[in-house]
Amino acid sequence: MKVKAFLIAAFAAVVLNVSAATSQNDGVITVKVNKASKVLVERWIEGYKAVNPSVQIALVSGKNADADLTLVTRHQEGVNVTYVGRYALLPVTSTENPLLSDIQKKEWKSKDIKSLFFTAEDLDEEYEEEVEGKKSKLKDKLTVYSGSGKASLSGIFASHFGRTIDDIRGNRIAGDDLYLLNAISEDKASVTFNALSNLYDLSSRTLRSELALLPLGVKASQREALRSGNLDETLDLIEREDIDLIPVEDIGFTYNDFDADIDHFLQWVVREGQQYNHEAGFLQLTNQEVESQLRLLAQNN
């Protein structure tokens, strides 16, 4: 019975996905998302449909999928884009990391994070690491995991610290950044970074039990919020204060064809949809950003 139900469900899902992927402007708005943003976009769709029940919005995914709206996780040049939220990245390790106590003893300042995650600023130091095999420091005992795909936020993390994705030390993964957490759970003596939406349990609003944040070298009041392990306190803190050690970047929807349905949906997300951002682990747009995005949308009409 279970097998039969699964097969029917699978068939239905495939049909839904295929039809969503192939439909363009036939009354259904298709939206392409990555795993990390899926919950947020689903919240928006639910909220929007609650006030616009006649609108059909379908999620699509997959590397070849085409959609009316595509969620992007960084600033875009030369395309139509409306920014709809923000996210923050934090460095993290596994609670089972044998070096956890050493990690937590430190206050990780900017230079420490750069030293841990990136190839050496001083090329001589890099040479010593490579050729002479010096592995005395904590950083030398930790493996860094980062993403390699276009959708990975590794590039955002690197550019925040003035470096490029190619400068990140250690091993790479291919796949959604969510899998970076899998990687550090398998290779315990390792570190990575990830978006709050992946790091925190959205139901309990607390840091996932198998993860430990790297203690950042921030002001005492800020440290308190980060240490609390509470998602909402962390979101409030990052929205309230500009913390140099925490990369923050916009997310947005890109689109090629702009019509009234898309316009209404995007306006709603910019105005009303912000209320769902925290729930999904994302930061809200600032008031200034809301105004500027609405202004840009108005220019499209």
Q: Summarize as ranges the residues that interact with another protein (CB under 8 A).
A: 5-7, 9-14, 16, 42, 61-63, 75, 77, 120-124, 127, 130-132, 148-151, 166, 171-176, 179, 182-183
Question: Smallest distance, Å, CB 95 to another protein?
Answer: 21
Look at the chain and count its residues.
301
Question: Smallest distance, Å, CB 86 to another protein?
Answer: 16
Question: Smallest distance, Å, CB 257 to another protein?
Answer: 24
Rank residues 12 and 79 by Cβ distance to another protein and give the closer one: 12
Rank residues 27 and 133 by Cβ distance to another protein and give the closer one: 133
Residue 168, CA atoms < 13 Å, CB-side half-sphere: 25
Q: What are phi and psi of 31, to 5 degrees?
A: -130, 125
Residue type, 215: P
Q: Distances in Å between the alpha carbon of 199 and those of 75, 116, 119, 166, 209?
A: 23, 20, 25, 24, 9
Rank residues 149 and 217 by Cβ distance to another protein and give the closer one: 149
Question: Smallest distance, Å, CB 229 to another protein?
Answer: 26
Residue type, 3: V
User: For the chain, what is the largest distance between any 2 Cα atoms, rounded to a whole number of angstroms?
Assistant: 67
Contact 263, 271 (CB under 8 A): no
Rank residues 119 and 267 by Cβ distance to another protein and give the closer one: 119
Report DSSP state, residue 286.
Answer: P
Question: Smallest distance, Å, CB 228 to another protein?
Answer: 30
Contact 267, 297 (CB under 8 A): yes
Report DSSP state, residue 203.
Answer: T
Rank residues 163 and 223 by Cβ distance to another protein and give the closer one: 163
Rank residues 169 and 278 by Cβ distance to another protein and give the closer one: 169
Q: Distances in Å between the alpha carbon of 82 and those of 36, 101, 138?
A: 18, 43, 42
Question: Smallest distance, Å, CB 183 to another protein?
Answer: 6
Question: Smallest distance, Å, CB 149 to another protein?
Answer: 4
**Quick one: which H or E segment has residue 179?**
helix 178-186
Question: Smallest distance, Å, CB 90 to another protein?
Answer: 20
Query: Shortest CA distance to 180 belongs to which of 192, 190, 198?
Result: 192
Residue 229: left if φ>0, alpha if ψ -120 to 50, beta else—which one? left
Rank residues 96 and 126 by Cβ distance to another protein and give the closer one: 126
Residue type, 78: G
**What residues pair up with 192 in beta bridges, in sequence order?**
92
Rank residues 42 and 236 by Cβ distance to another protein and give the closer one: 42
